[in-house]
């Protein structure tokens, strides 16, 4: 009777629709709350992109990457002297993306192959960048400097001297102001090549001295030189003997500016790190004032039978890190042409502090020096006495000897005339001599004042 009465009461209660709805809500609501929290995750707000109906979406991540790739292609083609071509990439063909605007984090670069930062866009032709002299502002023109194409002036007006210096500086030097020069009235004893890094204008070159290197270095320091230029090419340089001569001289290391260079056989990230430390050991020092990449590659038989570990780009990345560590105070390059210098400028985090190239009146290297002037980079000349092409012919040239004779009262020599010519052009020099008398003679070249007419006569030997 109790069971029957109870069921009767329940039956009567459930027959009411409102009671059935209340029971369903009490039973099902907790289940729905549990399922919503456990199975359906909350959509993060940052994953939802608000789309403006009027927005065309051409400025997303993929499009920016395409623009960077196009700029790289234009830079590479322009450096070869060709008309830039816009390349289509996969992102162009796929159309704009509507993914989130924040790109994924880039993978860590391999220390052997550095991932270089995106190239900046080429500078605009107007207004001219700082360091580019306005037309007619430089008072002298190199006498044998002419354009090689009738369209050079028009190309200059289109900004090609800025966008494509690798071609224009060599083929249109007059239009690109490569021919415009000034001559220094006085030669400074030191120049600043990097913030706080001062370098003597006249240094002592140590190439080709062989077993006499230590004695010649000690003699040069005794005669007043405070810059020693060396390198890792064992066939031409003996850095161990440079270090020996420096130690024997008694001149404090802090008073001597030491330069070394990486041989192209050692190009590569790891090789560069190792070889800089080898130079430190050979030179008996814990830092270098300047370290250069000696050549951009192994061309011209510099590394017969050898395949370098990497490229000059890899080595430059290593030099940037060594400079940040303080093992090297300034970094630069030697024997780079304008094409390679422009590639370095676009890629490097740290710009070169100095460019060293051969320079003498018959082969003045005006294009490289004009590039250095434009970008505020110091230039240093080697082989200023013509040793790379036969010094006797240059030292005995009638023009050189005539200028020396005009300064006979000052005891000027042909060698001093050639060094003074480079110095008055604003370049530093590193002559070499094992003779103490010639060392003193070369050091005194900074005091030889050449007239503008004499400089023009010497400039006229270009190509002779």
Residue 318 exposed, middle or buried by CB count within 10 Å (0-12, 13-18, 19+) = buried
Do residue 310 and residue 167 come from a single domain? no
**Which pLDDT value is given to residue 8?**
64
Do residue 175 and residue 318 come from a single domain? no
For residue 396, tell me if it sits in a domain.
no
**Which pLDDT value is given to residue 107?**
38
Do residue 255 and residue 344 come from a single domain? yes
For residue 220, tell me if it sits in a domain.
yes
Beta bridge partner(s), residue 334: 356
**CA angle, 449 then 135 then 355, to 5°:** 55
**Which pLDDT value is given to residue 371?**
97
Distance of alpha carbon 235 from alpha carbon 210, whole angstroms: 9
Q: Is the pLDDT of residue 304 over 90?
A: no
Could you say which of 180, 211, 234 is where a domain stops? Answer: 180
Do residue 164 and residue 195 come from a single domain? no
Question: Sign of the CA dihedral 450, 452, 453, 456?
Answer: positive
Do residue 168 and residue 290 come from a single domain? no
Cα 429 to chain centroid, rounded: 21
Could you say which of 150, 180, 210 is where a domain stops? Answer: 180
Do residue 170 and residue 216 come from a single domain? no
For residue 91, tell me if it sits in a domain.
no
Decide if 291 contacts 261 (C-beta within 8 A). yes
Decide if 279 contacts 320 (C-beta within 8 A). no
Decide if 144 contacts 389 (C-beta within 8 A). no
What band does 184 get if pLDDT is binned at 50, 70 and 90?
Answer: very high
What band does 33 get if pLDDT is binned at 50, 70 and 90?
Answer: low
Decide if 124 contacts 162 (C-beta within 8 A). yes
Could you say which of 180, 199, 230 is where a domain stops? Answer: 180
- Please state, in angstroms and as integers, the Cα–Cα distance from residue 410 to each residue in 242, 348, 463, following that order: 33, 46, 29
Averaged confidence pLDDT in the chain: 81
For residue 69, tell me if it sits in a domain.
no
For residue 191, tell me if it sits in a domain.
yes
Do residue 145 and residue 191 come from a single domain? no
Write the CATH number for 191: 3.20.20.100
Do residue 347 and residue 372 come from a single domain? yes
**Which pLDDT value is given to residue 64?**
36
Do residue 156 and residue 228 come from a single domain? no
Q: Is the pLDDT of residue 399 over 60?
A: yes
For residue 157, tell me if it sits in a domain.
yes
Contacts 24+ apart (CB under 8 A), 147-152: 147/171, 147/172, 147/173, 147/174, 147/175, 148/172, 152/176
**Exposure class string for 116-128: b at 16+ Cβ within 10 A, else e:** eeebeebeebeeb
Q: What are the pLDDT digits (tens) for 349-398?
A: 999 999 999 999 999 999 999 999 999 999 999 999 998 887 788 999 99
Do residue 342 and residue 380 come from a single domain? yes
Do residue 162 and residue 270 come from a single domain? no
Q: Which domain holds residue 236?
A: 186-384
What band does 430 get if pLDDT is binned at 50, 70 and 90?
Answer: very high
What band does 209 get if pLDDT is binned at 50, 70 and 90?
Answer: very high
Structural domain total, the chain:
2
For residue 404, tell me if it sits in a domain.
no
Q: Is the pLDDT of residue 272 over 90?
A: yes
What band does 306 get if pLDDT is binned at 50, 70 and 90?
Answer: confident
**Quick one: tokens of 199?**
């370098």
For residue 338, tell me if it sits in a domain.
yes
What band does 139 get if pLDDT is binned at 50, 70 and 90?
Answer: confident
- Please state, in angstroms and as integers, the Cα–Cα distance from residue 462 to each residue in 371, 457, 459, following that order: 18, 10, 6
What band does 11 get if pLDDT is binned at 50, 70 and 90?
Answer: low
Q: Is the pLDDT of residue 140 over 80?
A: yes
**Which pLDDT value is given to residue 199?**
98
**Quick one: tokens of 409?**
């009262």
Smallest CA-to-CA distance from 358 within 366, 350, 349 is with 366
Do residue 351 and residue 254 come from a single domain? yes
> Measured between alpha carbons, how far apart are the two ends of the chain, in Å?
133
Q: What are the pLDDT digits (tens) for 78-134?
A: 444 443 333 333 333 333 333 333 333 443 444 443 333 443 443 433 333 445 555
């Amino acid at each position: 009777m109790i069971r029957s009465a109870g069921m009767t009461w329940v039956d009567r209660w459930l027959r009411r629709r409102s009671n059935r709805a209340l029971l369903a809500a009490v039973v099902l609501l907790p289940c729905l709350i549990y399922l919503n929290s456990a199975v359906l995750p909350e959509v993060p707000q940052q994953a939802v992109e608000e789309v403006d109906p009027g927005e065309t979406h051409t400025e997303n991540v993929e499009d920016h990457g395409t623009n960077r790739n196009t700029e790289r292609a234009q830079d590479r083609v322009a450096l070869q002297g060709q008309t830039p071509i816009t390349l289509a990439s996969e992102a162009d063909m796929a159309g704009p993306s509507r993914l989130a605007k924040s790109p994924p984090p880039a993978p860590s670069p391999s220390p052997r192959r550095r991932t270089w930062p995106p190239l900046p866009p080429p500078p605009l032709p107007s207004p001219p960048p700082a360091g580019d002299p306005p037309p007619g502002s430089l008072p002298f023109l190199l006498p044998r400097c002419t354009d090689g194409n009738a369209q050079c002036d028009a190309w200059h007006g289109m900004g090609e001297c800025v966008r494509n210096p690798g071609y224009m500086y060599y083929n249109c030097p007059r239009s690109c102001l490569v021919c415009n020069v000034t001559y220094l009235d006085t030669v400074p004893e030191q120049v600043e090549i990097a913030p706080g890094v001062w370098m003597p204008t006249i240094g002592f070159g140590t190439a080709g001295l062989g077993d006499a290197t230590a004695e010649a270095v000690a003699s040069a320091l005794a005669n007043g030189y405070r810059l020693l230029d060396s390198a890792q090419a064992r066939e031409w340089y003996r850095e161990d003997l440079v270090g020996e001569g420096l130690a024997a001289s008694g001149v404090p290391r802090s008073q001597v500016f030491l330069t070394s260079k990486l041989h192209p056989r050692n190009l590569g990230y790891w090789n560069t790190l190792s070889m800089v430390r080898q130079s430190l050991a050979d030179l008996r020092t814990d830092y270098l004032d300047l370290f250069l990449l000696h050549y951009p590659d192994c061309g011209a038989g510099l590394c017969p039978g050898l395949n370098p570990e990497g490229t000059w780009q890899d080595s430059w990345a290593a030099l940037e890190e060594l400079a940040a560590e303080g093992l090297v105070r300034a970094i630069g390059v030697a024997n780079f042409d304008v094409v390679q210098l422009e590639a370095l400028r676009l890629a490097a985090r740290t710009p070169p502090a100095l460019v060293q190239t051969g320079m003498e009146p018959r082969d003045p290297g005006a294009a490289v020096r004009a590039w250095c002037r434009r970008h505020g980079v110091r230039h240093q000349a080697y082989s200023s006495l013509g040793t790379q092409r036969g010094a006797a012919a240059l030292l005995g040239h009638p023009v050189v000897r005539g200028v020396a004779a005009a300064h006979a009262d000052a005891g000027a020599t042909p060698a001093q005339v050639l060094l003074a010519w480079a110095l008055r052009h604003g370049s530093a020099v590193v002559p070499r001599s094992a003779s103490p008398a010639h060392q003193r003679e070369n050091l005194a070249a900074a005091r030889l004042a050449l007239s503008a007419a004499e400089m023009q006569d010497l400039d006229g030997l270009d190509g002779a």
